[in-house]
Amino acid sequence: MKPVLLFHLFISSFLYTAYSQESRNDSLSVQLFTEGYVSSVPNHPTNKARPAFFYNYTKANNAGINLAFAKIHYTSGRFRTNLGLMAGDYAKANLAKEEKWARYIYEASAGYKVSTEYNAWIDAGVLPSHIGFESVAGKDNWTATRSIVADNSPYYETGIRFSAQPNERWYLAMFTLTGWQTISVPTNQLGTHWGMQIMYSPSSKWTFNSSSYIGQIYSARNLTRIYSNLFSTWTINEQTAVTVGWDVGLQESFSIGGGTNIWNSLIGAVRYRLKPGKWNIAARYERMLDKKNLLFSLPVYNYYEFNVNHASVNLDWQPFKNLLLRAEANYLQSPYPLFYKGDGLVTKQFSAFVIASFNLQFSKKGTGAN
């Protein structure tokens, strides 16, 4: 999808919604978000970077802006549009393989409501990923930093989404995509990559989610990838909530006739509101296993299987509505020496983070043309 196509998609949709005869309740919202951090890694890696399988908060013993974005959302009648542009360490790391023009796109989509009764929409463009319970915007997550499985599954996707929310209990979506977390690939890949999401909330205390993907990963030979993301969230009471998840991926072996390789991750997180609206505490544990290094094709990992335990605990303070301050202690461990200490490799790494995020959002509602 070329930049001119994205530009025309947004502008034409915006103009159409602005002058649509159907529109009666227009709304425009603008969001500005900035997230800065300081990290401390006692191992003092010579490259001054966190392990290469992380795409957020990538600097070690340094300060940086992880993510800064500006986003516009406009709705008029049956139409809606989103446009967001971004910068920061996340964009540099996670979108490094995209074309240069695409590395600034946070979101760019246009949608049409096909059914009011079932709240059904068709949206096209660069969309948030349907996989996982973590967002790239830290303010939306219980934990201060991202999990390994979140950073190594899509945060965004390009294609067409058909979604429906017939009631408060169900959310259903189908996707035809251009690939596994891609923007700057030919749109003729639509129809060769598919996704699905089913979310069920039987009550205000429980949410169950199943998200899946099937498509091809392009290398010297196209390899079929199938991915499943399952998670459940239990809100025990106003103060305490728990999430557990299991991700599993299957991918055709690169060697002809080599069968199928697999990787998987188990994750659990708990959040406790010490003082709702002011103080929160959260803890996380995950185990990521990728014996064939399908996701981590880096020189240091080629000698060992990727087998990592990851734990963290964070304390959050929100002194004002628009400001969130977070401190996190983070621990990585593996039976293999996968983490840099100076120029050498060791089996453990401890990190500490202080993160500050500022979020400003305002909206305006009006009456469109009759």
Token pair of 43, please? 């191992």
Q: How confident is the model at residue 301 (pLDDT cuts 50, 70, 90)?
A: low
Residue 271 has pLDDT above 90, yes or no: yes
Position 304 scores a pLDDT of 80
The one-letter amino acid code at 283 reads A
- Binning the chain into helix, strand and coil, the percentages to the nearest 5 are 10, 55, 35
Token pair of 65, please? 């802006």
User: Which range (106-115, 156-165, 175-184, 263-272) has the least confidence?
Assistant: 175-184
Burial group, residue 165, by CB count within 10 angstroms (0-12, 13-18, 19+): middle
- Whether 275 and 300 have beta carbons less than 8 Å apart is answered as no
User: Any idea what the Cα angle at residue 354 is, between residues 352 and 356, rounded to 5°?
Assistant: 155
Position 19 scores a pLDDT of 47
Torsion of CA 38, 266, 197, 9, to 10 degrees: 30
Burial group, residue 186, by CB count within 10 angstroms (0-12, 13-18, 19+): exposed
The overall longest dimension of the chain from CA atoms, in Å, is 69
Residue 368 has pLDDT above 60, yes or no: no
- Whether 214 and 226 have beta carbons less than 8 Å apart is answered as yes
pLDDT averaged over every residue in the chain: 89
pLDDT digits (tens, 9 = 90+) for 30-39: 999 999 999 9
- The average pLDDT across 51-76 equals 96
Residue 264 has pLDDT above 90, yes or no: yes
Residue 3 has pLDDT above 60, yes or no: no
Token pair of 100, please? 């240069």
pLDDT above 70 coverage of the chain, percent:
88
Position 220 scores a pLDDT of 56
- Whether 126 and 3 have beta carbons less than 8 Å apart is answered as no
User: Which range (84-93, 181-190, 278-287) has the least confidence?
Assistant: 181-190
pLDDT above 90 coverage of the chain, percent:
75
> Distance of alpha carbon 114 from its chain centroid, rounded?
27
Residue 182 has pLDDT above 50, yes or no: yes
Strand ranges (E), 18-155:
25-40, 63-76, 79-87, 105-115, 120-128
Please tell me what DSSP assigns to residue 100: G
Token pair of 370, please? 């009759």
Burial group, residue 28, by CB count within 10 angstroms (0-12, 13-18, 19+): middle
Position 15 scores a pLDDT of 46
Please tell me what DSSP assigns to residue 59: B
- The average pLDDT across 60-72 equals 97
Using CA atoms, how far residue 289 sits from 155, 207, 246, 261, 301, in Å, is: 20, 26, 12, 12, 12
pLDDT digits (tens, 9 = 90+) for 207-232: 999 999 999 877 656 788 999 999 99
Q: How far apart are CA 339 and CA 347, in angstroms?
A: 6
Comparing 23 with 152, which gets the higher pLDDT? 152
Total number of domains constituting the chain: 1
Residue 132 has pLDDT above 90, yes or no: yes
Residue 318 has pLDDT above 70, yes or no: yes
* CATH number of the domain encompassing residue 131: 2.40.160.10
Number of neighbours of residue 204 by Cβ within 10 angstroms: 8
**What domain range includes position 297?**
3-367
Closest CA to 37 of 271, 246, 324: 324
Q: How far apart are CA 244 and CA 230, in angstroms?
A: 8
Element (H, E) at 10: helix 3-19
Q: How confident is the model at residue 121 (pLDDT cuts 50, 70, 90)?
A: very high
Position 57 scores a pLDDT of 97
Position 189 scores a pLDDT of 73
Q: What is the pTM of this model?
A: 0.89
- The average pLDDT across 362-370 equals 67
Q: How confident is the model at residue 22 (pLDDT cuts 50, 70, 90)?
A: very low
- The average pLDDT across 306-322 equals 95
